[in-house]
Chain A
Amino acid sequence: MTVLQKKPVNPIAHLTADDIELIGKELDEIRQGVVESRGEADARYIRRVIDVHRKVELGSRAVLLASGFAPAWVLGTIGLSVAKILENMEIGHNILHGQWDWMRDPKIHSTTWEWDMASPAEQWKHSHNELHHTYTNVVGKDNDLGYGIMRVDEDQPWQPFHLGQPLWSFVNACFFEYGIAAYDLELGAVIAKKQTGDPEFRERARAVLRKIGKQARKDYLVHPLLSGPNFLPTLAANFVANLARNLWSNSVILCGHFPEGVETFEKRSIDGETRGEWYLRQMLGSANISGSKAMHVMTGNLSHQIEHHLFPDLPSNRYAEIAPRIRDLFERYGLTYHTAPLPQQVASAWHKIIRLSLPNGWLENTTARNLPTQLVNLWKMTTGKPRVRRRLLREQAAMAAA
């Protein structure tokens, strides 16, 4: 992938400025239709999901008190994983987006909600709602592109340390909530700029540590202690449930912006962007997951990532209803609506992570027959002198282009 503006075939070259404004107008109308019809049924929906989550979470934790008994461990761990996923995805993420603020219920409001997640709601709302949703897929602006630790674009120069990218991506997936917390703190940048002494940063860091402390105390101390002799199995169950939730939410989020075919944008391209152009960037920069109703609920309806990015503050239960109209809009304007089942999107995203961990063109150029030669090339590109490395990088790119 390369930023849209540098592609040989620009997928939006056929759109005129008027087309783009018409797209914007049509999307505004779809949005208004949902806003006007929000009501009792929607309120009932979110309250029911919250109710189900609390019952599943409490039930699973109760079952885990007997976690020494293997079937109880299995049942409780599955239940707790499901509960944690529901809580983060369909409930927490969406409430913190302000999707339910219109209900004016202080118990279900973006300014009062807190979630089962290492990152405090306040900090996450800033980095997610303000930065990621505004600068979606703009290289250098949207930190969600690789979370500042990955090579996400062919245009970023390849360095040997990128070879480790698949490994640390996987580690990041396993401990995703902590990764997000560090990322919301902009920990990497703060350390690089040696600003860890900044009082404002320290205050935010303390808030994160307090939050992590509370969550960890619940999962790894109080709940195991309450299980008495089953301390260790309950601790393990909590660890597995957190791991499952982290892997799941990481997968869903990878599917949203990382599968092949999703576009990225240059920083310059968003100067003076109109509302229509902003909409268009959201359309091109997101991908959906197809699947059952249960899949949509468990992904927090981020399976409708395209609809979510167009209208981040509309209630998630309404995305499915507008999806056919959005898809129709894509088709009428000759744009590609990326959607595929979860395994396919996850595979596509991981394929890209692996491809970009290698020099441009290397993966495409490699076949079973030339594998030994290619490995030697890779070795030289990693360890060789700068001149040799530059030559080999050029060769790989040229081979791929040929």
Chain B
Amino acid sequence: MTATVPRPSPARPALSALRDRALRLAELVTTPVLPADYLDMVNPLRAGTDLRGRVEAVQHETRDAATLVIRPGADWQPHVPGQWIRIGVDVDGVRMWRAYSLTSDLTRADGCISITVKAIPGGKVSNHLVRRVRPGTLVHLDQATGEFVLPDARPEKVLFVTAGSGITPVMGMLRNHPELDDVVLVHSAPTPDDVVFGAELRALAATGRIRLVEQHTDTAGLLDPAGVAALVPDLAERATWACGPVAMLDALQEHWDAAGLGERLVTERFRPAVAATGEGGTVSFTRTGATVEADGATPILDAAEEAGVLMPSGCRMGICYGCVLPLREGAVRDLRTGEVTTAAPGDGVIVQTCVSAAAGACSLDH
């Protein structure tokens, strides 16, 4: 696996240098495997190894959402509320990686972190995490990342617009930023029971810390940007963070841009918006020698993983560049824009495999 985030710089450099030297010596005895492979058998959460976590508890939030409380490995670096992590979990024996927002309170006494996952219909990983994972399960982690955070200079007035599981990064902020005292949260969910963190949000509203507007879409329908504007008259004065389905975010962005407020809106997307698909082709990997038949609608990353190729990966939505590989020959299509990138033999055009599909035969350096 290729981590998308730089390895943490160890907190105690002298000690870790000593540890590295000891491990290099130990390698003389353990070759061809690494001493780390033995140490991980005893303590997979120790310092200096791949970042992992152990699921300590699974708390059910709604009928299809659950919070996983995870004890992270010793090298975990505290996150900024609103950021997300990549989590790798074995589903039916296959390692799968997804990104989820952190929802935990940074001041937790036990040092655990939490993510909150909503099971999406047909979603392999989300259903596994919500319904099948049990405490004690070991998961693989990356350090937290993401730009969906509050600036150091806190805005006086804040608006959050969220829908469904889009509440998760916002909950992470609300729990950790009690200093925010003028907050409007407009949240959409099918029914009152489907509001993730419903009880906690309503309690916050009851104390007056936030103004909560719930839109129950099963009965009241979808909320459009004009509807949000009507609900929040002082919208122009508010710094806004929005997280939810792609269509909602696109509509909000358009509306804010039109009102000249585009700068004041920050959005968080969890899936790329697929705009264009086309013909697929044979993808060949120059170094591993693997060849994969990929259709024109499937990201090269997914097609290659399905075929058992170990691929570098990251956010899987085209923003982190953790999955990029040089395209040596052939053509790929950016699924978000339909734009086709071609490379003549010998070229090394960098392409994002998580949002690019084959557009004919192509060859990548990997």
Contacts and interface: CB of A to CB of B under 8 A. Distances in A.
Q: Are chains A and B native binding partners rather than an unrelated pairing? A: yes
Interface of A: 38-44, 51, 54, 58, 61, 98, 101-107, 109, 111-112, 114-116, 214-215, 217-218, 222-223, 226
B28 interface: yes
Contacts of A215: 31-32
B110 interface: no
B41 interface: yes
Contacts of B305: 104
A223 B308 CA distance: 37
Nearest to B96: A104
Contacts of A102: 93-94, 308
B228 interface: no
B37 A107 contact: yes
Given A42-B93, A54-B37, A58-B38, A104 B31 contact: no
Counting contact residues on chain B (CB < 8 A from A), the size range is 20 to 34
B307 to A, nearest CB: 9
- Which of B1, B41, B93, B309 is most buried by chain A, counting CB atoms within 10 A of its CB? B93
A389 B355 CA distance: 72
12 contacts: A43-B94, A51-B41, A54-B38, A101-B308, A102-B94, A105-B95, A106-B310, A111-B288, A114-B32, A115-B32, A214-B31, A223-B29
A98 B32 contact: no
B93 A38 contact: yes
Contact of A111 (B28, B38, B95, B310): B310
A109 B93 contact: no
Contacts of B308: 98, 101-102, 104
Interface in B15-53: 28-33, 37-38, 41
A34 B308 CA distance: 15
B152 interface: no
A61 B310 CA distance: 33
Contact of B90 (A38, A43, A61): A43
Contacts of B96: 104
Contacts of B179: none
Contacts, number: 62
A42 B310 CA distance: 19
B94 A103 contact: yes
Nearest to B40: A107
A217 B28 contact: yes
Contacts of A39: 92-93
A124 B96 CA distance: 29
A222 B33 CA distance: 15
Contacts of B37: 54, 107
Contacts of A106: 1, 310
Contacts of B32: 114-116, 214-215
A58 B38 CA distance: 9
Interface string B142-171: 000000000000000000000000000000
Contacts of A114: 32-33
A313 to B, nearest CB: 9
Given A111-B288, A111-B310, A112-B310, A103 B95 contact: yes
A104 B305 CA distance: 7
Please name the 7 residue pairs, one residue from A and one from B, whose CB atoms are nearest each other, closest first: A43-B93, A101-B308, A114-B32, A104-B95, A39-B92, A40-B93, A222-B28
Interface in B297-351: 305, 308-310
Contacts of B95: 103-105
A214 B41 CA distance: 23
A39 B310 CA distance: 18
B364 to A, nearest CB: 15
Contacts of A41: 93
A168 B32 CA distance: 29
Contacts of A103: 90, 93-95
B38 A40 contact: no
Contact of A226 (B1, B29, B41, B309): B29
A250 B44 CA distance: 37
B29 A61 contact: yes
Nearest to B28: A222
B31 A109 contact: no
